[in-house]
Structure formats: C-alpha cells, structure tokens
Amino acid sequence: MSHGHLSPDVIAPQSRFYHGPFGRMFPDLEPWAPDVPEHRQEAKFLKFANRHMVEKPSGAADDALPPNPTEIANDRALREALDREFDSRIPSAYTFFGQFIDHDITLDVTPLSESEVDPNRLHNFRTPRLDLDCIYGTGPDDQPYLYEHNGGFTGRMITGTVTDTNYPDLQRNKEGGAIIGDMRNDENAMVAQVQLAFILAHNRLVDVAKAIDPSISGDGAFRMARRSLRWLYQYVVWNDFLRRVTHKDVHECALKLVKACGKTRLWDLGLKHIYNWKENPFMPVEFSVAAYRFGHSMVRNSYLTNENADLGAGADKYFPIFDNSGNPENDLAGFRFLKKQHVLQWNLHLEMKDGGRPQYARKVDTKLANALAFLREDPDNPGSVLNILAARNLLRGVRMKLPSGPAVARKLGLDVTNLGKGEPEALWFYILKEAEVECDGKHLARLGSSIVCATFAGLLKGDPTSWLNVWPEWEPEVDPLLSHASLSGMNMDTPGTWGLPAIIRMSGLPVDAGDL
C-alpha cells in the first residue's frame, strides 16, 4: 500500500481556475477538520478507527479487540460469521481490479508525513487516462527489458514462472521484485495476478495479429494488440466494473451515446457540472483521496486462493491479505516470488460459467477488514497511523483539505445522510456511510457514484485515443483482433457484455480446479 517517498514541489491549490495534474471538484467549499487541535487529530482518528471501523462479530463491544487476521483465516466458524455479516454480492476479484485501475490512472508519491507540511504538494506521475501504462510502461523503445526480443522485437511481453511449477508469474529480479510498468501492482499476490492476466492477454492478441497477417512485424503486432487491449480494458471498466460498484441511475446518465448535427454520434457527459476541465483532464482529489477509496472497504481478511492440495493450498486453506505474525509465508503480501499455494483459481474470485463459486468482496460500508490494520508501512511502530488504513485515510483527507461529505451532498442537491454520534464528516467516511445506509452496502450511493462516474466518464472523454473519441460505436465484437475465431466465447461469463472474466480467459490463467 506504499505511496512512495518523493515529494515534488507541485501544487493543487483551492482555486476554481487551477487545472494541473491534480485539481479540485469543489474548490469553493470549506475544508473539513475535526473539532480538536491539530496535534490531537491523529490520536482521535486512531481511536475512532480501532473502535468503529474494524470488522467484529455481531454483539462485540466497541472496545473489544478485533480478531487477528490469521485467527480469522484459520477459524472457520469465525470466518463464516464475518462473511455472513459483511459480504456483498460483488465477486472478490473486482476489489483488486479496482486497485489495478487506480494504479493505472494515479500515482501520488507524497508520503503522509510530508503532506502534513504542505497538503498541496501533489503531482500525478501517471497519465490520467485508462491507457494501461501500468502494463506497457513508456513503451518498448524506452523500457526494452519489459519486452521479448528473439532475433528482434516480437511484440510480446516477458513473463516468468512460479518456482518448481509451469504456472506463469510476473518477470522478477533475483530478489523476487517484479519487473513491470508499475511496481505497485506487485503489492499483493492478488493484484499481481491481475497484472499478469493483462500481460498474458496482450501476448495472446499479438499471436492473433500474427495469425491474421503472418507478414506483420513485431512492432505492428504490438501496436494492434495494445490498441485492442486498451479499448477492451476501457470497455470493461465502464460496462462491467462501474456497473457493479455504482448506482445504476448515476452510471446511466454519466455517459451517453447521443445523436448530433448531421446524424453524427458522440459520447456526451451528463455530470459536467461535477467534473470538467479546460484543456486536459486533471485528477480530482475528491476522487483520489476520498471517493475512489471505497475499495478499501471491499477487501476481505483472507482468501481461498485455489483448491489444489498439491500446491500447498487445499479446499479450506485461507490466506490473510496482510498478517502481523512476523512470518512472511502466512499472507498474500507482495514484492516477492509468487508462491505456488497463492496461484489463483479464478472461478473462486469471479462468476465463471464452468462451476464457479466465487468468494465475495466486502460490502461498501464503514467497516474495514481487520487485516487492513496491519499494513507494513512502519513495522517498527505498530500503533502508527501509517499501519491502520482507516485512520490514515481520515487523516489524509484532512491534510489534503477536502470538504465535508454533507457539504458536498448539499452542493449537489442530494439528501444528506445522517451520521451517528461521534462519526466524522470526512468525505471518505461519509461516502461509505451513505452506501451503508442508502444501499445496504451493495454499491456506492448517489454522492459516491456521482464523483466516481463523473471522473471516469471525464477521463474517457478527455482521452483523444480512447474508443469513445476514435470510434464512438466500437464494441469488442467489431474489433479485428477480439472478433477473431480463436477468441470466440471470451464473453461467455458476463451476460450482455464483455467483462473482466474475458481478460482472464484470454490470458489462459487457471479458471477452475481442472486447470491446476
């Protein structure tokens, strides 16, 4: 969960005229902060997060210590009780797909300690586009070590294998660190395998391009595959991921294909009053620091990775996403060689036609998995706000001078969700509370959905290379590579559209137990 250790001196001030790498949707609203002296804010948020924002079984006292993540992983009755209380109906893979998307569009390398000095010192080192630069980096000329050269550039990307198996893994150095376009996609074994799926899907499309035209160069096949995968990714983000996590009404009005003069057709933004820009899209801090962090509430304490006992997992072996036991073998933390017991069987994480029974993401609500109180940001200081994700999010919102949730709701003419006694008006917390109260945690409610959908719609519309602008009526079925006979059936898992399961099938990664 690291956000780096650099702090370029670039600002995003509260001005309606400022449009830099980061900007603000609501610059005229007053920043919110708790009614305590600044030096007491961290302690206040730590106390609130530990008491009220950690999963506990029903009936547990506010001051009861939360169960240890390893204890939950190993205690079936406790694990199932928490699942019944906190599970959504969104398959668990979308949690980490959401993290993958975040890494593709934002990289704020300002550490929390330095944002306290100047909360406006922000720079986005990612293009605010859904362009898969976390996969492709800066391209084969600038980063040739990501790409395969076999008597010349082949168009394919380099992968590795899991030790003592034939299962694919990311390309890694001798210390186990991934050699990829964005090192954050090695933060845990789950997002690392999302990254791997996209790399393998790219390689599959290169092969398809060469099957269609055997005379095509490696560079030509690369460019065709990259465009098809980028557009499919954009399509999946809008039509699969966002449909699941946002309010249906908001999603439908945020981006529409409409008729224009002369019977031409174009994509129209329905939430321009929330997110707009002058020349190029910027990354709104209300999105990156608050609304899009709804995904933190979707993380489970532990995951069943696969059902193959030969891989060291088995039918009832759960691994915490993070663990505080001191044994790095116990959890799914990243930046190391992928363990064979952590190889994902994807029908345990997605709804797949062939016998899938996915685990589900947690509800979008004000409770976070216990494991997210054991991050490894500051292992020598286990009580630090850096280690407890809920407290860190609350503190960062204050230091980034975000407005309150109720103030934003009133500005947009939305009904204000009532907060409980002592609950903070922080925009991030309010968005979670709104989803919990208004939608039973099934997805974001109207305020959270409006910020999220407005941002994604704006990024797609503002990207001159997106399918919306290059070919407004593009769909996967008309793409010259995706429509090839060798890829038939890729969209069998998501009714009416292509979804994340299509990327997994295209990659060739294990879908069911028979593939392991």
φ, ψ of residue 445 in degrees (nearest 5): -90, -160
Domain boundaries, position 192: 22-515
Count how many residues are written for the chain: 516
Cβ-based neighbours of 114, under 8 Å, separated by 6 or more: 7, 121
Output the six-digit token pair for 476.
């996967």
* Domain annotation covers residue 265: yes
* Domain annotation covers residue 151: yes
The structural domain count of the chain equals 1
Count the helix, strand and coil residues of the chain and give each as a percent rounded to the nearest 5.
45, 10, 45
Of 190, 494, 132, residue with least CA distance to 502: 494
* Domain annotation covers residue 7: no
* Domain annotation covers residue 251: yes
Give the pLDDT of the chain (516 residues) as one tens digit per residue.
Answer: 344 333 333 344 565 555 568 899 999 999 999 999 999 999 999 999 988 999 987 777 766 667 778 888 989 999 999 999 999 999 999 999 999 999 999 865 444 444 443 434 444 445 689 999 999 999 999 999 999 999 999 999 999 999 999 999 999 999 999 999 999 999 999 999 999 999 999 999 999 999 999 999 999 999 999 999 999 999 999 999 999 999 999 999 999 999 988 889 999 999 999 999 888 899 999 999 999 999 999 999 999 999 988 887 777 789 999 887 666 678 999 999 999 999 999 999 999 987 778 999 999 999 999 889 877 666 566 667 767 899 999 999 999 999 999 999 999 999 999 999 999 999 999 999 999 999 999 999 999 999 999 999 999 999 999 999 999 999 999 999 999 999 998 999 988 889 999 999 999 999 998 898
Buried b (16+ CB within 10 A) or exposed e, 322-357: bbbeeeeebbbbbbbbbbbbbbbbbbbbbbbeeebe
* Domain annotation covers residue 414: yes
pLDDT of residue 322: 85
Q: d(Cα 450, Cα 433) in Å, to the nearest integer?
A: 15
* Domain annotation covers residue 135: yes
* Domain annotation covers residue 12: no
Q: H or E element: which one contains 195?
A: helix 189-212
CATH of the domain at 254: 1.10.640.10
Q: d(Cα 486, Cα 352) in Å, to the nearest integer?
A: 19
* Domain annotation covers residue 282: yes
* 414: three-class secondary structure by DSSP: coil
Concatenated DSSP letters for 469-496? HH-TT--GGGSTTTTSGGGTTTTSSSTT
pLDDT of residue 5: 32
Please say whether the beta carbons of 178 and 172 come within 8 A: yes
Planar angle of CA 242, 444, 361, nearest 5 degrees: 75
pLDDT of residue 108: 55
Of 132, 298, 365, residue with least CA distance to 228: 132
pLDDT of residue 377: 65
